[in-house]
Every structure is written in C-alpha cells, then in structure tokens.
C-alpha cells in the first residue's frame, strides 16, 4: 500500500486539475510564508541557471524577457491608444 501523500505536501506538477482549488487554498499565505516562497523560487532559479561553472546566456536573458513582458503589461493601458482598430 503506497503511502498516501497529503495534498498539502504535493508539488504543483503532481496536483490533479480538480484538486487545484483546494491545493491553492492550503498554501501558506502569511507574510513569512510568502517571503519564504519568494526566497525558495529565487534560490531555485539561481542554483539552476547562474551558480554553475559554465553559465550561459539563458540565465539573464530569461530574467530580462520576463521584465520586458511585465513592463509591457503595466504600460498596456497607455499603449492601447496606438491600436489601429478600435474594435476586434
């Protein structure tokens, strides 16, 4: 009988689609929890792409691309006025 892993401890990729709502609700949303999650994400990215012997271009270019996309999203309301068609 395989040990039943609690829903709380499963990783995101192993969560079934129907359980997504419950899984999200069980996450830790306290400030320290959020900070911890950000720290974990940063450490994972850093150790995978930057903290290596022969680092490549992808490490920083992905960060820059993400920044470009984010800043486009923030300035969309201003860019909207340059559209060629008003209705789509």
Q: What are the residues binding another protein (CB under 8 A)? A: 48-59, 61-62, 65, 72, 76, 79-80, 82-85, 88
Q: Would you tell me how many other CB atoms lie within 10 Å of the CB of residue 82?
A: 6
CB nearer to another protein: pick between 43 and 61 = 61
Nearest by Cα to 25 from 4, 50, 7, 43: 7
CB of 85 to another protein, least distance (A): 7
CB nearer to another protein: pick between 3 and 64 = 64
CB of 5 to another protein, least distance (A): 20
CB of 82 to another protein, least distance (A): 4
Nearest by Cα to 25 from 14, 15, 35: 15
Cα 46 to Cα 8, 62, 66, 74: the distances in Å are 25, 12, 15, 26
């Amino acid at each position: 009988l395989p040990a039943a892993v609690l829903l709380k401890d499963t990783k995101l990729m192993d969560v079934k689609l129907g359980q997504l709502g419950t899984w999200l609700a069980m996450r830790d949303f306290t400030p320290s929890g959020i900070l911890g999650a950000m720290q974990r994400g940063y450490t994972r990215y850093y150790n995978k792409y930057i903290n290596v012997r022969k680092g490549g271009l992808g490490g920083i270019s992905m960060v820059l691309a993400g920044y470009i996309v984010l800043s486009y999203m923030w300035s969309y309301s201003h860019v909207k006025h340059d559209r060629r068609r008003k209705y789509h």
